[in-house]
Copies of this chain bind each other. A is one copy, B any other.
Amino acid sequence: MYSNEKYPSQILREAVEAIGSLPGVGARSALRLALHLLGQPAENVHHFTAAVNRLADEVHYCRNCQMIADADICSICADRTRDARTICVVESVRDVMSIEATGQYRGVYHVLGGIISPIDGVGPSDIKVRELVERIDRMHAEDAATEDLPGGSDLNPGGIEIILALSGDVEGETTSLYIYRQIEHKGVKVSTLARGLGFGDDLEYADSLTLGRSLLARQPFRP
C-alpha cells in the first residue's frame, strides 16, 4: 500500500484513516472509498455525512424497551396489536431486526445494549438489566392498580413471559443466568430460544455439541 508520507494530501490521509477505522474496511478499500467521495459533488458528500451524523445526534432510544426509535416510544412498543406481556430480551438492535424479519414474533422486546463480558470489561451494570427489572415491576404495579390480570395463573400470575434470546456462547449464557437470577422471584415465566439442528441440516455435518444437545432436548414427534 501507499505509505503515509507519500499521501498527496494530509486531508486525504485523514479521511482514509477515518474510513479505514470502520470494521471490515481495509486500507485499500478505505483509499478507494475516499477517492470516490473526493470525486463526488460536495453536496453528495454533505448528504452522506449528514445522514451519518444524525445517527449520533438524533436517534432516540425507546424509554420502554431501549430499542432505537425516532420518538420516545419505538414503533413496536407503540403497536397496540402486539402482545406487550411477552418480552424478548436481546443483546442488540440488530437482533430485534433479525427477529422482526422472521415475521414469527408478535410480542415486544427489551434491548440490553450489550452482553456481560468480563474480558471486555462489560459488567451487569453496563447493560440494561436494571431497566428490565423495573419494567417488570412497573407492569406488576399497573396490574395491581387495575386488578385486571389478563390470562394469568398461580404460577405465572401476571401472565408475563420473558424470552431470553441471547447468543449461545459463554457471554450469552452468563448474561441469561444473571438476568434469570434477577427476575426468577418476580412471578414471570422465563423461557429461552430452542436450540438444536437447523431445519434442513444434515446430521453428518452437524457439530457434535449441537447434535448432542438436540438429542437431549428431543421433542414429541408430531406427524
* CA–CA, A92 and B1, complex, Å: 17
Considering the complex of A and B, which 8 residue pairs feature the smallest CB-CB distances, nearest first? A18-B51, A45-B56, A49-B49, A42-B56, A18-B48, A15-B51, A14-B51, A11-B54
Q: Which of A36-95 contact B (CB under 8 A)?
A: 36-38, 40, 42, 45-60, 67-70, 74-76, 92-94
CB-CB under 8 A for A70 and B9, given A40-B56, A52-B18: yes
A3–B3 Cα gap in the complex (Å)?
41
Q: Is A29 an interface residue (CB 8 A)?
A: yes
Stretch of A20-28, A131-139, A149-157, A164-172 contacting B (4+ beta carbons < 8 Å): A20-28
Of residues 80 through 127 on chain A, the ones whose CB sits less than 8 Å from some CB of chain B are: 92-94, 96-97, 100-101
A185 at the interface (CB under 8 A from B): no
Tell me, yes or no, whether A221 is within 8 Å of chain B by CB: no
| This protein's copies in its complex | 2
Q: Which of B31, B46, B93 contacts A38 (CB 8 A)?
A: B93
Q: Which of A6, A49, A57, A58 has the most CB of B within 10 A?
A: A49
What number of A residues sit within 8 Å (CB to CB) of B? 61
Contacts of A51 in B (CB 8 A): 11, 14-15, 17-19
Name the B residues within 8 Å of A93 (CB-CB). 8, 12, 35, 38
The residue of chain B having its C-beta at the shortest distance from the C-beta of A94 within the complex is B35
- Cross-chain pairs A/B with CB under 8 angstroms, 6 sampled: A2-B100, A6-B97, A9-B59, A15-B54, A24-B29, A38-B59
Complex Cα–Cα for A22 and B36 (A): 8
Q: How far in angstroms is the closest Cβ of chain B from A128?
A: 14
Instruction: Tell me the minimal C-beta distance from A35 to chain B in angstroms.
Output: 5
Our pick among B8, B55, B74 for the contact of A11 (Cβ within 8 Å) is B55
Give the residues in chain B near A57, CB-CB below 8 Å: 42
Which A165-221 residues have C-beta < 8 A from chain B? none
| Interface flag for A130 (CB, 8 Å) | no
Residues of B within 8 A of A14 (CB): 51, 54
